[in-house]
């Protein structure tokens, strides 16, 4: 009976570990942060974005508003960004969070945390 529970547990662990390694890939160092090589495969709301970054392990998180702007400035060097809005961890008044649009020109604004935006994880080193 214990074997039956253990097999699904191993399967779920392999999915989480597999997704983490695909997203993190070979991190790129920019300033005092490491940037995951890839975005998460789907856009997500702010709460899920925070949780998903934390589940990558050891200090992975959403970038602050300033870090996110640095990622925009270095987007060609980092690579893999889509021309969409990305979440930051920075909260604005009344529960809104800062996002930045990664098109030819940056546009920073606040967004409802229920909206879906793209996510690139970072961690300090």
Q: What does the angle CA 8 – CA 2 – CA 21 come to, to the nearest 5 degrees?
A: 30
Answer whether 0.85 is exceeded by the pTM.
no
Residue 104 pLDDT: 87
Average pLDDT value for residue range 62-73? 97
Phi, then psi, of 3 in degrees rounded to 5 = -60, -40
Find the distance separating the first CA and the last CA of the chain, reported in whole Å: 44
User: Looking at the predicted structure, is the pLDDT value of residue 97 above 90?
Assistant: yes
- HEC-encoded secondary structure of the chain: CHHHHHHHHHHHHHHHHHHHHHHHCCCEEECCEEECCCCCCCCECHHHHHHHHHHCCCCCECCCHHHHHHHHHCHHHHCCCCCCEEEEEEEEHHHEEEEEEECCCEEEEEECCCCCEECCCEEEC
User: Looking at the predicted structure, is the pLDDT value of residue 72 above 90?
Assistant: yes
Residue 18 pLDDT: 58
Class of domain 2-124: alpha beta
């Amino acid at each position: 009976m214990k074997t039956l529970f253990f097999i699904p547990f191993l399967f779920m662990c392999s999915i989480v570990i597999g997704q983490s390694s695909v997203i993190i890939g070979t991190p790129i160092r920019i300033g005092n942060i490491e940037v995951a090589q890839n975005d998460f495969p789907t856009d997500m709301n702010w709460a899920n974005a925070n949780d998903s970054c934390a589940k990558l392990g050891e200090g992975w998180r959403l970038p602050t508003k300033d870090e996110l702007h640095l990622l925009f400035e270095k987007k060609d060097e980092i690579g893999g960004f889509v021309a969409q809005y990305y979440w930051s961890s920075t909260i604005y008044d009344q529960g809104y969070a800062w996002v930045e649009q990664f098109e030819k020109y940056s546009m920073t604004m606040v967004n409802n945390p229920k909206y879906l935006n793209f996510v690139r994880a970072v961690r300090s080193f």
